[in-house]
Structure 1
Amino acid sequence: MSDDSAFDPATPPPSKLTQTKTRWAQDHRLPARRADRPESARLPPGQHRTEDWPVLDLGEQPVVSTADWRLELFGAVDHPVIWDWTAFTGQTQIDDVSDIHCVTSWSRYDNRWSGVSTQDLLAAVAPHDAVRHVLLHSHDGYTTNLTIEDFAAEGVLLAHSWQGKPLSSDHGGPVRLIVPHLYFWKSAKWIRRIEFRENDAPGFWEQRGYHNRGNPWTEERYG
């Protein structure tokens, strides 16, 4: 592995939004936005539907070209690897449509993604039997954790396209994770490293009071 795999970039200084969201976790409260009445079982409790796709981050939006992009898959696996863009796009590609649900209370329906299924990724690296957790590392220093079961769930993928177009930088391009069955902070933007672990390691928001899993259907917003 390269020397770059030995460390992650530092997160940017806390933005006003980061500070506000941290206070929400400390106070266990929602932002001041009234939830919609669920029109069906499709909308989780406490959520409202939006047609927009709000941009939320730590106050920094890395710009990574596909020429420079690399994805390191490492940890407790039989086949650690670093994929460049050619290798990544040479993997089996899938299309999937899913709804997304942000912990700040908005939901957006019918997002069409293209990318690599995490199930295919797992087949490529062959995690050890003892692996129970995954830690995601991003170009802005962001991290978030998942159980191996949530990472491997149906519909989870590393997406490079949204609605038929390359994923823009402000939404996490060139590649971000999509975990549609959990709150959207688990769908890390600007993915650069995926670490397979036997033990758990809480990520950025989990260390700041957010729930360790984040199931929107049971409102697992805060720990």
Structure 2
Amino acid sequence: MVELKCYTTTNEGLKSKGVEVVVDCVIEEAAVINDISDVRGIIEKHLEAVFKDAGKGILVFDSNESIGSTHMLYRFKYRALDTSGEYISVRIVVRNNRASRILFTIPRGYVHLVRFENMYNPLRELHTNNEEGPGAPGQTYIPNMIVYNILGVPSIDVARWRLEVVGSVEKPVSLSLKDLYELGVETLRVNFHCVTGWSVGGLEFTGVRLSRIMEIAAPRRNVKWMFTESLDGYTTIVPYSDGVKGIVALEMNGKPLDILHGYPARLIIPHLYGWKSAKWVSRIILSEEYRDGYWEALGYHPRGRVDLEERFKRY
């Protein structure tokens, strides 16, 4: 049996899609991937190590996707023959033609088979280099942003909407759209980088610096993480020291955000990949402890710096 370093995680957004638990495993002796049969072989070797008494099953190729110029993400589906039709989604992350990570998204009917209960430690992922580089390795510039709505488009009642800052703060904050404008806005010209490999240059976002909002909330000294919740159920997390460099954007290219780009407010953290810049943001929770957001639970990096190409977790 293959021995793996694995941990389990979960996320409410994934649960809404029927995923009860994610088992995320590091492939420490990274195998060379030449074709799809190599990927299939890795999965078959690891199924027994991850699941107890899984029995025989069917493994079916689903898709593959380039993530930048250095990564490939392969997706398979596995279904045990003695189940009622639920399947486990299997993801393999390949970096420079070497498999580095394998993830299993587990529906409720398979949870009792999972062997692992370890917790992920994000601190190993965070380089101490605080000087941000100018580059965007592995990215290709395109004319316009591609719009993703991973959990659907929420209905918005802007009269009732508030941006809350809570958690480990001295003064919890609740701000309306009018309140945000009254704090003072400024316009940033930035490049936006999606982790999948596309970038758009020269976008203008107008909003309130997060540092200004944090002055009001007065974070406690123990704060290390900024966890963001959105109206659609999406969540993400960034180190506080990175998140505070961003803005709460209210306008894009001189006009109020449209609904598909996150109206009434979204985060923009230019030096991090775009999944960290949550749309339809409603709550920011400051804490000492790390927890996975939606994409982090699927193996994506806890910080996501563009210049360091922090696309996926490595440890």
**What is the rounded CA distance, in whole Å, between the counterparts of 1:29 and 1:105 in structure 2?**
15
| 2:307 aligned counterpart, secondary structure | helix
**Partner-residue secondary structure (3-state), 1:54:** coil
Separation in 2 of the partners of 1:120 and 1:20? 42
Change beyond 3 A, Cα 1:161–1:118: same
What does 1:18-37 correspond to in 2, within 5 Å? Answer: 24=73, 26-29=91-94
Deviations 1:82-137 (A, max 9, x none): 11222222112111111110001000101101111011011111000111111000
**Contact 1:63–1:169 at 8 Å: present in 2 too?**
no
1:143-188, Cα deviation, whole Å (9 max, x unpaired): 10111100122xx100010000011111111100001101100001
Aligned match of 1:93 = 185
Q: What is the CA distance between 1:57 and its match in structure 2? A: 2.2
- The code of the aligned residue for 1:198 comes to E
Report deviation, 1:42: 5.4
Q: What residue in structure 1 maps to residue 219 of structure 2?
A: 127
Count of residues in correspondence between the two structures: 200
- Report the Cα distance in structure 1 between the residues aligned to 2:144 and 2:239, rounded to whole angstroms: 29
User: C-alpha root-mean-square deviation of aligned residues, in Å?
Assistant: 2.4
- Are the counterparts in 2 of residues 65 and 174 from structure 1 also a CA contact under 8 Å? no
User: Equivalent residues in 2 for 1:33-182 (5 A)?
Assistant: 44-153=136-245, 156-182=246-272
For residue 188 of structure 1, the aligned residue among 278, 292, 299 is: 278
1:218 equivalent among 291, 304, 308:
308
Using structure 2 for the length normalisation, give the TM-score.
0.59
The answer (yes or no) to whether the contact 1:48–1:107 under 8 Å persists in 2 is yes
Q: Which runs of 5+ in 1 are unaligned?
A: 1-7, 31-40
Structure 1's consecutive aligned runs of 4 or more residues displaced over 4 angstroms after TM superposition are 8-12, 19-23
SS at match of 2:169: coil
- The superposition leaves residues 30-81 of structure 1 with CA deviations (integer Å, 9 ceiling, x where unpaired) of 8xxxxxxxxxx85511110011111012140113142232111111111102
Name the structure where strand makes up a greater proportion of residues. Answer: 2
Instruction: Report % sequence identity.
Output: 34
Decide whether aligned partners of structure 1 residues 20 and 55 sit closer, same or farther in structure 2, where only a CA change above 3 A counts: farther
Deviation at 1:217, TM superposition (A): 1.6
Q: Counterparts of 2:168 and 2:222 in 1: how far apart (Å)?
A: 8
TM-score for both structures, normalised by structure 1: 0.82
Counterpart residue identity of residue 93, structure 2: H
Q: 1:207 to 1:9 in 2, by over 3 A?
A: closer
Q: Which has the higher contact order (CA 8 A, sep 6+)?
A: 1
